Amino acid sequence: MTAAPSAHATRPRMGAGPKVAVVYLAIVALAAIFAGVLSPRDPLAINPSNILASPGVRNLLGTDELGRDLLARIIYGARVSLEVAVSAVVLACAIGIPLGIGVAFCGRRVEAFAMRIIDVFVSLPEIFVAIVILAFAGGGLTTLIVTIGLLFFPHFARVAYGMTRSIRAREHVLSAISLGAGTTWIVRKEILPNMVSVIAVQASFTLSFAMLMEAGLSFLGLGVPPPTPSWGQMIGGLKNYIFINAWPVVVPSIVLFATILSVNVLGDWLQDSLNPELQR
């Protein structure tokens, strides 16, 4: 016995999953903003006599290889992860969306050429591009943001391009054009508003990719320079000491995982609720 399955099954307003995700992300964001107040100790204070300690009374989450308090570093690490990921996504949108829209309005030739260029970008596996750029430009927060932003703008460009073309081809838009509506008007009134939901979904997934990329690059030693803590960098550093004490590396690993998971869960929910007709 089954009811006829509906392709447009409406999801409950917000399940338990997304709720937990929102709460968790809010905590992370608060930690990032109010790190100075929330952190129990100085994340940079070195203590050579107490390195690689397990979670305990003195250091709630243990210490790293220089004796620095892990809880403090995780709180400050939230700052780096969020800052880099959000900035990179904003940059990617700022470059990609205008580009995508612009290309859609140009002639066929420009379209083909631009799509070819974007193909080239996409065909280069991301992490190699990042490694080469970072070797070129040196580490640092800005370089990292620019690199990741450059890596992900094609996603937005493509989406913007596709959406622009399909919206432009709609009946009422075509009639508006024939009545003399200008490009800017069309972009402002029809294209952008209709793109918002799709872009939002794309942005949420790109956010998690950006966080993953930052963590991965930091893991490889190409991220933010020490002593600034970054979750990926902490994992990369502490993994060398697993055989001495595995606990220190587990903590930032769980935190990073939970954050990305939350972003993905939220992204899923966003997609399901804003675009019920689009299936992934």
Partner 1 sequence: MKFRPVQFVASLAIVLACGVLWLSSAAAQPAPKMGGTLRYATVTEVASLDPHVYVGSAWKVLIEAIYSPLVGYDTKGTIVPRIAERWETPDAKTTIFHLRKGVTFHDGTPLTAEDVKFSLERILDAKTGATLRTNLAGVTVSVTGPSTVKVETAAPNAALLSVLALPEAAIVSKKWIDGGPNVKVQANGTGPFVLKAYEPSVRAMLGRNPNYFIKGQPYLDTVEFRMIKSDDARVNALRTNAVDMIDFVPWKDIDTLRRAPNIVVDSSGGAFMNLWFNATKKPYNDVRVRQAFAYAIDRDAISKAAFFGHGTPIEGPPTASDSPFYNKDLAKTYKYDPARAKALLAAAGYPNGFDFEFLVFQGLGIYTSTAQIVQANLKDVGINAKIQLVEFADLLDRKNKANYDVMVYGVSMKLTDPDAYAYYLGADSTYWAKPIGYRDDVLEELLSAGRSTVDLENRKVIYRKVEQRVMDTSPWVFINFREQAQAYNNKVRGYSHLGGALNESSAGISMPVMWMQ
Partner 2 sequence: MLAYLGHRLVAAALTLTLAFAVVFAAIHLLPGDPVTMLLGEQAGADPEVVQKMRVRLGLDRPLIEQFASSLTGIATGDLGKSLRTGEPVFTDVIVRLPRSLELIAGGLSIAVLLGIPLGIAAAKGRGRFSGTAASVIAIAGFSAPVFVSGVILVIVFSLWLNLLPSSGFVEFADDPLMHLACLVLPATAIGINFMGVVARMTRASLADTMTKEYVRLARAKGLSRQAAVLYHALPNALVPVITIIGIRAGSLLGGTVIVEALFDWPGLSSMLVSAVFARDYPVIQGSLVAIFAVFVLIGLAIDICQGLVDPRTRETAA
**Tokens in use for 279?**
């299936």
Question: Does 261 help bind partner 2 (rule: CB under 8 A)?
Answer: yes
Distance CA 63, CA 115 (A): 49
Residue 44 contact, options partner 1, partner 2, none, Cβ 5-8 Å cut-off depending on partner type: partner 1
Q: Residue 5, interface with partner 2 (CB under 8 A)? A: yes
Residue 90's nearest CA partner among 134, 28, 148, 158 is 148
When binding is defined by CB under 8 A, the residue of 29, 220, 270, 273 that contacts partner 2 is: 220
Please identify, among the stretches 36-44, 80-88, 176-184, 242-250, the one whose residues bind partner 2 according to the rule CB under 8 A. Answer: 242-250
**Stretch of 25-33, 65-73, 196-204, 245-253 lying at the interface with partner 2 (CB under 8 A):** 245-253
The residue behind tokens 């966003």 is: 270
Q: Please report whether residue 33 would count as binding partner 1 according to CB under 8 A.
A: no
| 3-state SS assignment for residue 139 | coil
Nearest to 141 by CA among 255, 218, 207, 33: 218
Residue 279 lies near partner 2 (rule: CB under 8 A): yes
| 251-280: contacts with partner 1 (CB under 8 A) | none
Contact present, 263 and 26 (Cβ < 8 Å): no
3-state secondary structure of 203: helix
Q: Does 62 bind partner 2 (CB under 8 A)?
A: no
Nearer to partner 1, 51 or 95 (CB): 51
Burial annotation 97-129 (CB, 10 A radius, 16+ → b, else e): bebbbbbbbeeeeeeeebeeebeeeeeeebeee
Gap between the Cα atoms of 256 and 220, Å rounded: 16
What is the crossing angle of helices 192-219 and 126-137, to 10°? 70
* Among partner 2, partner 1, none, residue 279 binds (CB under 5-8 Å by kind): partner 2
Residue 90: CB partners within 8 Å, gap ≥ 6? 149
- From the list partner 1, partner 2, none, which binds 149 (C-beta under 5 to 8 Å, kind-based)? none
- Site map (CB under 8 A) of partner 1, residues 185-224, x = contact: ------------------------------------x---
Least separation in angstroms between CB 227 and partner 1: 5
Query: How far, in Å, CA of 177 to CA of 37, rounded?
Result: 56
Residue 268's binding partner out of partner 2, partner 1, none, with CB under 5 to 8 Å set by partner kind: partner 2
CB atoms within 10 A of CB 278: 11
Given the complex with partner 2, which of 186 and 215 has the nearer CB atom?
215
Residue 241 within binding range of partner 1, rule CB under 8 A: yes
Q: Is 128 in the site for partner 1 (CB under 8 A)?
A: no
Catalog residues that contact partner 1 under the rule CB under 8 A.
44-46, 48-49, 51, 65-67, 135, 138-139, 221, 225-227, 237, 240-244
